[in-house]
């Protein structure tokens, strides 16, 4: 019933790691809240169910654990703030709804193979029902991982759920599981066809750009992180969609990296919220000196998510780019065009991610401190909360610098050993992280020395603010928070409309599907409570039956 | 074992209650609950016995059919008896405290046991005419129980229900009469033998339509469903629990399956019709349930939708599908009665059952909250709860039989189901306490007992799939696959 292989063993390990970190973080963060026993019970169950999903070799067991996770997510989100029930409902409708699709997909697989054993299934994507099955199960993966068009629960959940829950489930476990199943699906259960690969790539590319554009203009730290999570899922889907070993390696590595840095970001954001009691960006600022370790881990994770070398996010993104470039070798033009489009989207998305996190870093940790944040209460958090952040930040650095020696060699490349013997030398592009790190460090040191030597500083004159010769009061008005950095983006002629529509929920599958319930109104109109009407139905029903069975 | 006990015991209790309860107030409670418990134990016992010995028959007064009346118990009857008496017993326990809201509690007990007599009779009856008699016994007590509150809307609902129920009875009776004229016997087994020897003419199709409409009305299959939401939401909650949980399944689904699968046989065309009706019921019921603001009406429409799943699975008619249909029947019996009892608890505690006047009861009614959550999630098919398994089996069976489109509809309807059950749970239990609620009354122990018992059963209902227990369900399914 259970089976261990290269793909699921490292994911199981990661689940274990995040479980420990989440528990450690919760000890302090959740202290004093209601229903704590239940909370830890749900967390433990989540970890167990996730292990079940990853390790099982039976589709039904996978389905059971997978669906159960949706329920646990619902229960855990409900422990959050006052908006939590809404967010929890939305999450369960989207996740649970796609689970139902997955039942259908598994039904079709069973119809064709008559087995539920994962390792015995290998299907060509050459018939319509099979393509349907692929996309039904892929929908469940997208919903779990938060790729478009099933993404909209992630930001809401991030905003309302308790931080350790967000860090543990949507940003770590659900990513691992969603992408795990997607890669199982694409690598083992089905033989990917080119058309399906292209669809995946396009979904990935659109997810990257659209979600990061939304992240760019968010005013709430947690929601911003939520949108950027969605955007990062796009990279993973894109990587797996490339269909070649390098791209898939990139996608899987990005999944691993993402869970590390995004959990780190959420934990750090949790630290900030824990001390300041707010996650609104315009009420934060200048916390770097008060919470230096939190700042450090947030900084590392930000740079990592933005794909700055030598951190881990860069390596996986770089692998995905390589995968896309490999696809340019294909003869047919549609693949070439799509690969180029996706490459541009991925790089542009990366730049926008950097922009988003510059804004966030500035708004939360840099800039001036608000008066409201000057109380003594605001200081570094305790060790059990800090440890998860620091551990993850250090992993970001190690996975970046020793990418080829550690994670890729032991975790990622073995998964793809059936398809290609990958190692640092076999990649088309060359990247030597250790050397690069040394060079970057030397560069930074030189810069620091120059800065210290005073030659740069001499050109800066510091003075008080004044207007018309009068000195300005050093008040809050003079403060520049990061919040408004990209308001101009929202005002651009075309984008303005898009953002307005996004605000109104036009791109939210959940909001859009509500429209189908207009059918209910029609049906209600027919149920007018008048007996003769009902009798007429019975008559019509019987006439219909007579026509079918006798006529 | 004397099969007649299933009919005699509740019937005797009805007489005793009517005779004595006015004088000895406590008697009706004691008698009714003891009878219900006895029937439940008897049902458990008979399930085991049927599994060991196969079909049991009992000739009333020793007259052998075709002259006498025979009661027959096979795997399916035993399974249905267990389901019916389980739900009836727990509803009865619940009613001990709940029915104090109404005057003349003994009348409720008498009617309730009368209804139980009818249902047990329908399940055990070995000939068609007695099937009809018992359907009428159950239905008429059902009409009275719907009107039990005697408010204007209760009476209106009961009136509509009575009219449509009478119509159904006429269809069934006409069908039986025609069948009798065709085969000269009323005994089910004899009719089946006699029909097998004759060519399948147009008359059988005509009779099929009559039975389909008649039992369809009892089972509330679209388009014969319109009486159900009124009737099931107006009845007192323990009654709604039985009506929605087992009544429509006994008088409708069971009788339909028995007549079509075991007696007159079923054509490919009719299978297809069953599937279409099932799909229509599940979709229309679900979409109507979403729009409801009255909890009990929502559950009532949900019953239409869930019975649609059962009918759909019966229409697929592969061994897997029939197994799934019976599992879903059991699950739905437990879950829907649990949900109606929860609705009753909410109404008992807050005096309202409108979603607009409720909210934030999680801390005030913890037992109701947890059991509602279990029931809602289970019926929406969230694993590993019971409802998931039957839904899984039905969908896989549909795909196996090649009905991809229907399976997809069944899947999408289950998403809609999830939507309205989340709407129910979120609105009633989560968020902050609704300002319109003046006070939340404490829930008595007997009510809690039933909720907890049903919740536990629904939690472990998936365990029916374990090999040791599967044989009972398989025995029931085998009856329909002969």
User: Could you read off the pLDDT of A26-49 as tens digits, one per residue?
Assistant: 888 888 788 888 889 999 999 999
Is B128 within 8 Å of B263 (Cβ atoms)? yes
> Is A410 at the interface with chain B, CB within 8 A?
no
Distance of residue B187 Cα from the nearest chain A Cα, in angstroms = 25
> Is B270 at the interface with chain A, CB within 8 A?
yes
Would you say residue A476 has pLDDT above 60? no
Cis peptide bond upstream of B66, omega within 30 = yes
> Is A132 at the interface with chain B, CB within 8 A?
yes
Where residue A474 falls among pLDDT bands split at 50, 70, 90?
low
Please report residues of B whose CB lies closer than 8 A to that of A92: 418, 422
Among chain B residues, the shortest Cα distance to A530 is held by: B160
A58-72, A291-305, B168-182, B428-442, range with the lowest pLDDT:
B428-442
Where residue B12 falls among pLDDT bands split at 50, 70, 90?
very high
Distance of residue B85 Cα from the nearest chain A Cα, in angstroms = 31
Taking the C-alpha atoms of residue B328 and residue B307, their distance in angstroms, rounded to an integer, is 9
Taking the C-alpha atoms of residue A364 and residue A358, their distance in angstroms, rounded to an integer, is 10
Give the domain range for residue B446.
Answer: 267-482
Helix (H) or strand (E) holding A467: strand A466-467
- Are A542 and B431 inside 8 Å of each other by CB? no
- Are B382 and A67 inside 8 Å of each other by CB? yes
Question: Which residues contact residue B378 at a Cβ distance below 8 angstroms, ignoring those fewer than 6 apart?
Answer: B331, B335, B385, B386, B387, B388, B458, B459, B461
DSSP A382: -
pLDDT of residue A480: 65
pLDDT of residue A472: 66
Scanning A363-402 for CB atoms below 8 A from B yields none
> Is B158 at the interface with chain A, CB within 8 A?
no
**HEC-encoded secondary structure of A413-463:** HHHHCCCCCCCHHHCCCCCCHHHHHHHHHHHHHHHHHHHHCCCCHHHCCCC
Please report residues of B whose CB lies closer than 8 A to that of A129: 404
Ranges A81-85, A426-430, B18-22, B249-253, most confident:
B249-253
- Are A517 and B290 inside 8 Å of each other by CB? yes
In a domain? residue B238: no
pLDDT of residue A355: 87
From the list B212, B255, B399, the residue with the least C-alpha distance to B318 is B399
Q: Which of B159, B270, B415 sits opposite A97 (nearest CB)?
A: B415
Would you say residue A392 has pLDDT above 60? yes
In a domain? residue B479: yes
Please report residues of A whose CB lies closer than 8 A to that of B163: 531, 535
In a domain? residue B220: no
> Is B208 at the interface with chain A, CB within 8 A?
yes
Would you say residue A456 has pLDDT above 80? no
pLDDT of residue B89: 93
In a domain? residue B278: yes
Residue to test with chain A: of B213, B233, B287, B321, most A Cβ within 10 A: B287
Is A143 within 8 Å of A203 (Cβ atoms)? no
Residue to test with chain B: of A69, A95, A549, most B Cβ within 10 A: A549
A411-425, A472-486, B43-57, range with the lowest pLDDT:
A472-486
pLDDT in tens, B30-79: 889 999 999 999 999 988 888 888 888 888 878 877 777 888 998 899 99
Residue scoring higher pLDDT (A207 or A454): A207
pLDDT in tens, B266-279: 888 889 999 999 99
Where residue B111 falls among pLDDT bands split at 50, 70, 90?
very high
Distance of residue B400 Cα from the nearest chain A Cα, in angstroms = 5
- Are A89 and B423 inside 8 Å of each other by CB? yes
Residue to test with chain A: of B163, B383, B433, most A Cβ within 10 A: B383
Q: Is B72 exposed, middle or buried (0-12, 13-18, 19+ CB in 10 A)?
A: buried
Produce one character per residue of A168-205: b if its CB has 16 or more CB atoms within 10 Å, e if not.
bbbbbbbbbbbbbbbbbbbbebbebbeebbbbbbbbbb
Helix (H) or strand (E) holding A487: helix A487-491
Nearest-5° Cα angle at A260, A395 to A343: 110
Is A339 within 8 Å of A328 (Cβ atoms)? yes
High-pLDDT (> 90) share of chain B, %:
50
Q: What is the mean pLDDT of residues A200-225?
A: 88
Name the average pLDDT for chain A.
Answer: 84
Name the average pLDDT for chain B.
Answer: 89
pLDDT of residue B361: 86
Would you say residue A477 has pLDDT above 60? no
> Is A96 at the interface with chain B, CB within 8 A?
yes
pLDDT of residue A455: 63
In a domain? residue B150: no
Report the predicted TM-score, pTM, of the whole model to 2 decimal places: 0.91
How many CB pairs below 8 Å do chains A and B form together?
143
Is B341 within 8 Å of B94 (Cβ atoms)? yes
Helix (H) or strand (E) holding B480: helix B467-481
Scanning B381-420 for CB atoms below 8 A from A yields 381-384, 388, 391-392, 395-396, 398-400, 402, 404, 407-408, 411-412, 414-415, 418-419
Among chain A residues, the shortest Cα distance to B210 is held by: A542
Ranges A19-23, A381-385, A402-406, A524-528, most confident:
A19-23
Q: Which of A65, A71, A520 sits opposite B382 (nearest CB)?
A: A71
Among chain A residues, the shortest Cα distance to B165 is held by: A535
Q: Which of B163, B216, B288 sits opposite A527 (nearest CB)?
A: B288
> Is A63 at the interface with chain B, CB within 8 A?
yes
In a domain? residue B438: yes
pLDDT of residue A385: 83
> Is B166 at the interface with chain A, CB within 8 A?
no
Please report residues of A whose CB lies closer than 8 A to that of B398: 107
Scanning B218-257 for CB atoms below 8 A from A yields 223-224, 226-227, 229-230
Token pair for A226:
């939520």
pLDDT of residue B336: 93
Where residue A450 falls among pLDDT bands split at 50, 70, 90?
confident
Please report residues of A whose CB lies closer than 8 A to that of B407: 104, 107
Helix (H) or strand (E) holding B73: strand B70-73
In a domain? residue B467: yes
Where residue A494 falls among pLDDT bands split at 50, 70, 90?
confident
Where residue A272 falls among pLDDT bands split at 50, 70, 90?
confident
Where residue A221 falls among pLDDT bands split at 50, 70, 90?
confident
Q: Which of B209, B217, B412 sits opposite A549 (nearest CB)?
A: B209
How many structural domains does chain B have? 1
Ranges A98-102, A117-121, A305-309, most confident:
A98-102
- Are B273 and A107 inside 8 Å of each other by CB? no
Q: Is B159 exposed, middle or buried (0-12, 13-18, 19+ CB in 10 A)?
A: middle
ipTM: 0.90
Would you say residue A125 has pLDDT above 90? no
pLDDT in tens, B200-220: 888 888 899 999 999 999 999
Distance of residue A239 Cα from the nearest chain B Cα, in angstroms = 30
In a domain? residue B42: no
A113-122, B180-189, B447-456, range with the lowest pLDDT:
A113-122
> Is A70 at the interface with chain B, CB within 8 A?
yes
Helix (H) or strand (E) holding A137: helix A128-145
Where residue A481 falls among pLDDT bands split at 50, 70, 90?
low
Taking the C-alpha atoms of residue B387 and residue B460, their distance in angstroms, rounded to an integer, is 10
Would you say residue B397 has pLDDT above 80? yes
pLDDT in tens, A281-325: 878 877 888 888 888 888 889 888 888 888 888 888 888 888 888
pLDDT in tens, B292-348: 889 999 999 999 999 999 999 999 988 889 999 999 999 999 999 999 999 999 988
Q: What is the mean pLDDT of residues A158-169?
A: 87
């Amino acid at each position: 019933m259970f089976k261990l292989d290269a793909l699921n063993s490292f994911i199981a390990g990661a689940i274990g790691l995040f479980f420990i970190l989440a528990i450690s973080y919760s000890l302090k963060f959740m202290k004093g809240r209601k229903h704590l026993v239940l909370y830890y019970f749900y967390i433990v169950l989540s970890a167990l169910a996730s292990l079940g999903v990853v390790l099982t070799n039976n589709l039904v067991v996978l389905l059971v654990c997978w669906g159960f996770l949706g329920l646990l997510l619902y229960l855990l989100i409900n422990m959050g703030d006052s908006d939590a029930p809404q967010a929890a409902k939305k999450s369960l409708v989207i996740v649970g709804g796609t689970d139902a699709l997955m039942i259908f997909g598994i039904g079709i697989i069973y119809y064709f193979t008559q087995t539920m054993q994962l390792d015995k299934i290998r299907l060509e994507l050459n018939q319509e029902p099979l393509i349907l099955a692929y996309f039904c199960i892929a929908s469940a993966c997208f919903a779990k991982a938060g790729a478009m068009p099933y993404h909209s629960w992630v930001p809401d959940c991030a905003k309302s759920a308790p931080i350790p829950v967000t860090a543990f489930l949507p940003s770590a476990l659900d990513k691992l599981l969603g992408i795990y199943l997607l890669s199982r699906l694409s690598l083992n259960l089905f033989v990917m066809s080119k058309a399906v690969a292209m669809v995946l790539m396009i979904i990935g590319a659109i997810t990257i750009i659209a979600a990061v554009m939304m992240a760019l203009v968010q005013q709430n730290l947690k929601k911003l992180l939520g949108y950027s999570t969605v955007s990062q899922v796009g990279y993973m889907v894109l990587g797996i969609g490339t269909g070649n070993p390098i791209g898939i390696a990139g996608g899987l590595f990005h999944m691993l990296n993402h869970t590390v840095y995004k959990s780190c970001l959420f934990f750090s954001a949790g630290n900030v919220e824990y001390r300041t009691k707010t996650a609104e960006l315009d009420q934060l600022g200048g916390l770097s000196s008060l919470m230096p370790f939190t700042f450090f881990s947030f900084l590392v994770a930000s740079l990592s998510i933005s794909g700055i070398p030598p951190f881990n996010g860069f390596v996986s993104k770089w692998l995905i780019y390589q995968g896309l470039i490999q696809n340019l070798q294909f003869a047919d033009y549609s693949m070439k065009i799509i690969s180029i489009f996706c490459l541009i989207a991925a790089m542009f998305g990366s730049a926008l991610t950097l922009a988003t996190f510059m804004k966030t870093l500035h708004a939360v940790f840099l800039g001036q401190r608000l008066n409201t944040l000057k109380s003594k209460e605001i200081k570094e958090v305790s060790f059990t909360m800090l440890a998860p952040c620091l551990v993850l930040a250090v992993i970001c650095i190690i996975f970046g610098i020793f990418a080829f020696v550690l994670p890729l060699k032991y975790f990622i490349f073995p998964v793809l050993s059936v398809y290609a013997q990958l190692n640092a030398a076999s990649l088309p592009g060359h990247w030597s992280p250790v050397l690069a790190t040394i060079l970057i460090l030397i560069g930074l040191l030189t810069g620091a020395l120059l800065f210290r030597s005073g030659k740069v500083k001499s050109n800066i004159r510091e003075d008080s603010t004044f207007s018309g010769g009068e000195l300005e009061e050093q008040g809050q008005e003079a403060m520049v928070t990061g919040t408004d950095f990209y308001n101009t983006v929202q005002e651009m002629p075309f984008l303005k409309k898009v953002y307005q529509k996004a605000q109104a929920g036009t791109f939210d599958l959940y909001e859009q599907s509500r429209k189908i319930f207009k059918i209910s109104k029609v049906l209600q109109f027919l149920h007018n409570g008048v007996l003769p009407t009902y009798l007429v139905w019975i008559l019509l029903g019987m006439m219909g039956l007579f026509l079918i069975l006798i006529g | 074992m004397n099969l007649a006990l299933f009919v005699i015991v509740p019937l005797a209790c009805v007489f005793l209650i009517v005779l004595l309860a006015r004088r000895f107030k406590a008697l009706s409670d004691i008698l009714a609950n003891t009878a219900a418990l006895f029937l439940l134990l008897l049902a458990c016992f008979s399930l085991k016995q049927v599994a060991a010995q196969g079909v049991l028959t009992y000739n009333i007064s020793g007259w052998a059919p075709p002259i006498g009346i025979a009661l027959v118990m096979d795997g399916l009857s035993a399974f249905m008896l267990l389901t019916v008496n389980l739900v009836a017993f727990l509803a009865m326990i619940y009613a001990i405290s709940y029915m104090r809201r109404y005057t003349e509690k003994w009348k409720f007990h008498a009617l309730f046991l009368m209804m139980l007599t009818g249902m047990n009779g329908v399940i055990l009856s070995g000939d068609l005419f007695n099937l009809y008699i018992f359907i009428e016994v159950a239905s008429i007590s059902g009409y009275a129980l719907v009107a039990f509150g005697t408010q204007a809307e209760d009476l209106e609902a009961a009136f509509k229900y009575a009219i449509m129920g009478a119509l159904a009875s006429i269809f069934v009776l006409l069908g039986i009469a025609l069948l009798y004229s065709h085969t000269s016997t009323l005994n089910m087994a004899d009719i089946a033998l006699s029909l097998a020897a004759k060519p399948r003419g147009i008359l059988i199709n005509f009779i099929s339509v009559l039975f389909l409409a008649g039992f369809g009305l009892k089972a509330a299959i679209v388009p014969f469903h319109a009486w159900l939401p009124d009737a099931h939401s107006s009845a007192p909650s323990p009654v709604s629990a039985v009506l929605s949980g087992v009544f429509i399944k006994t008088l409708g689904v069971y009788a339909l399956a028995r007549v079509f699968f075991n007696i007159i046989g079923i054509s490919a065309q009719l299978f297809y019709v069953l599937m279409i009706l099932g799909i229509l019921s599940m979709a229309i019921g679900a979409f109507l349930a979403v729009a409801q603001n009255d909890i009990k009406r929502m559950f009532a429409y949900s019953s239409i939708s869930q019975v649609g799943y059962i009918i759909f699975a019966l229409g697929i008619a592969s061994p897997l599908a029939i197994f799934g249909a019976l599992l879903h029947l059991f699950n739905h019996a437990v879950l829907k009665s649990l949900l109606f009892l929860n609705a009753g608890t909410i109404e008992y505690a807050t005096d309202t059952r409108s979603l607009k006047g409720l909210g934030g009861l999680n801390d005030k009614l913890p037992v109701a909250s947890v059991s509602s959550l279990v029931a809602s999630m289970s019926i929406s098919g969230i694993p590993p709860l019971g409802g998931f398994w039957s839904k899984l089996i039905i969908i896989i069976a549909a795909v196996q039989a090649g009905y991809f489109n229907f399976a997809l509809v069944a899947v999408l309807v289950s998403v809609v189901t999830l939507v309205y059950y989340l709407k129910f749970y979120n609105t009633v239990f989560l968020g902050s306490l609704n300002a319109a609620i003046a006070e939340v009354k404490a829930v008595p122990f007997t009510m809690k007992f039933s909720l907890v018992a049903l919740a536990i059963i629904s939690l472990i209902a998936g365990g029916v799939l374990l090999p040791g227990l599967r044989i009972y369900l398989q025995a029931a399914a085998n009856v329909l696959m002969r």
